[in-house]
Chains A and B, each alone.
Chain A
Amino acid sequence: MSTLHLNAEALYLDLLSGVRGLLQPGAALVGIWSGGSWLAERLQHDLKLDGEAGVISSALHRDDFGSKGLASADPTRLPFEIEGKPIVLIDDVLYTGRTTRAVINELFDFGRPASVTLAVLVDRGGRELPIQPAYSAARIALPREHKLSLARDDEGRFSFDIKEEGA
């Protein structure tokens, strides 16, 4: 058991106000599968945005394909044209930045957005690429071997799952 205490629901409310501040006219939310897409779905509703949020998968652009093979994920689903649109990417945990890099490439396979910004629930540092979020609800430091991810229960409530790799 980790002693780290992170209240995902409280952080979500911070993210909600942070994303509200980032929204330009005509902007669309795109959640990174899987934790980010749950957040985007709820943000879309709470921000009273029309239509559905997009879901984006990093699987087809991952740089660890050669060592890990094809990652299983839901396919990318963007229920709107992205050409010329300001896009706000949503993720649960930002770490090395490699997933963000992969989904930006994925996004550009569908067209040329006006801009791409990133908002995350938790920034855990450890970046290996020059990627920074426009908003993060929390910044924490975790040992490398800890894997942090968002979980969602049957009622749609968020919590954090912390696993020690190899444990």
Chain B
Amino acid sequence: MTRNPQLNKHGELIHLLSIEGLPRAVLHGILDTAGTFLSVNDREVKKVPLLRGKSVFNLFFENSTRTRTTFEIAAKRLSADVINLDIAKSSAAKGESLLDTIANLSAMHADMFVVRHSESGAPYLIAQHCAPHVHVVNAGDGRHAHPTQGLLDMYTIRHYKQDFTQLTVAIVGDIVHSRVARSDINALTTLGVPEIRAVGPKTLVPGDLKEMGVRVCHDMVEGIKGADVIIMLRLQNERMSGAMLPSAGEFFKNYGLTQDKLAHAKPDAIVMHPGPINRGVEIDSSVADGKQSVILPQVTFGIAVRMAVMSTIAGNDA
């Protein structure tokens, strides 16, 4: 049996590439550690020295503002030196291969790579080829995984609901293209959530989800009925040009989260969204800004979770 490439021989996390295959204890360990880091925001000195003298390279081969910024803040709060590389505009555009880019950056004494790439598996490739002391965090690869978003979603759910083992969680929208949905489903399954529902039109919800133990619903009201947690996904505008959806207005009518539809969930249900939100496309403003929305706390928790991931992997040897 081959070992999970994210874990060392002691079962400790050395890279974060995907939530799939990680033991429940590892996930809880990260969430507990994130709780410690959340309180760093309340201090006069909002910085701890765990990554002092280490260099974190943010390698974004695909555009992102929010994720890159929260990784940068997280690394800086851990006292790391952060180097942001807009690779899409530089080396890759000049024809340099991914591994040549990594070799060059390693020669600049990188200690950690935070990687976003449009190709699924790119962070795995980097983790396999970098020096043993270098750690890799997947910040989103293709349609495959977005593990830190998955973990911050789990932190948010645990914060508001405490126990995972009694929950019904509905994930709504463009699931087929969503690496967030995949990471959330893996994490929710590992943490023992008994009912996970994938809600959306047939063109946007893959049928093979049933094999992962997920209940597929094409009717929105049926999908969110009695739910404790609703995770709305961003409808990616670029999908609208294909034959997958008739129009944004039609999507909103059927799957947009409004106060009327939300009333079918539990009264204390929380509404989440990985951002950026499209108001009036997948979520109504009154819900996004309403009292059940935890969209902005998610962003705050995201920094603490990314600090937890970076300090956990940096403290473990390959």
Contact = CB atoms under 8 A, between A and B. Distances in A.
A75 interface: yes
B39 A70 contact: no
B50 A109 contact: no
Interface string B16-44: 00000000000001001101100110011
Given A60-B50, A75-B39, A69 B44 contact: no
Interface string A109-130: 1110000000000000000000
B45 interface: yes
B39 A65 contact: no
Contacts of A57: 36
A69 B50 CA distance: 9
A87 to B, nearest CB: 15
Interface in B297-318: 311-312, 315-316
Interface string A46-72: 000000000001011100011011101
Contacts of A75: 35-36, 39
Which of B32, B33, B315, B316: most chain A Cβ within 10 A? B315
A69 B309 CA distance: 12
A70 B35 CA distance: 14
Interface string A100-112: 0000010011110
A76 interface: yes
Nearest to B38: A75
B112 to A, nearest CB: 14
Contacts of B39: 75-77
Given A60-B50, A75-B35, A75-B39, A111 B44 contact: yes
**Count class of interface residues, chain B:** 10 to 19
B159 to A, nearest CB: 14
B48 A109 contact: yes
A70 B48 contact: no
A86 to B, nearest CB: 18
Given A65-B50, A75-B36, A76-B39, A70 B312 contact: yes
Interface string B45-65: 101111000000000000000
A73 B316 CA distance: 17
B12 interface: yes
Interface in B138-173: none
Given A70-B33, A70-B311, A61 B48 contact: yes
A69 B35 contact: no
A69 B315 contact: yes
Contacts of A61: 48-49
A75 B50 CA distance: 15
A69 B43 contact: no
A75 to B, nearest CB: 4
Which of A68, A75, A76: most chain B Cβ within 10 A? A75
Contacts of A110: 43-45
Interface in A69-106: 69-70, 72-73, 75-77, 105
A77 to B, nearest CB: 8
B315 A60 contact: no
Given A75-B39, A108-B45, A109-B47, 4 more contacts: A60-B50, A69-B312, A69-B316, A105-B49
19 contacts: A57-B36, A59-B36, A60-B48, A60-B49, A60-B50, A68-B315, A69-B12, A70-B50, A70-B311, A70-B315, A72-B29, A72-B32, A73-B36, A75-B36, A77-B39, A105-B49, A109-B45, A110-B44, A111-B44
Interface of B: 12, 29, 32-33, 35-36, 39-40, 43-45, 47-50, 311-312, 315-316
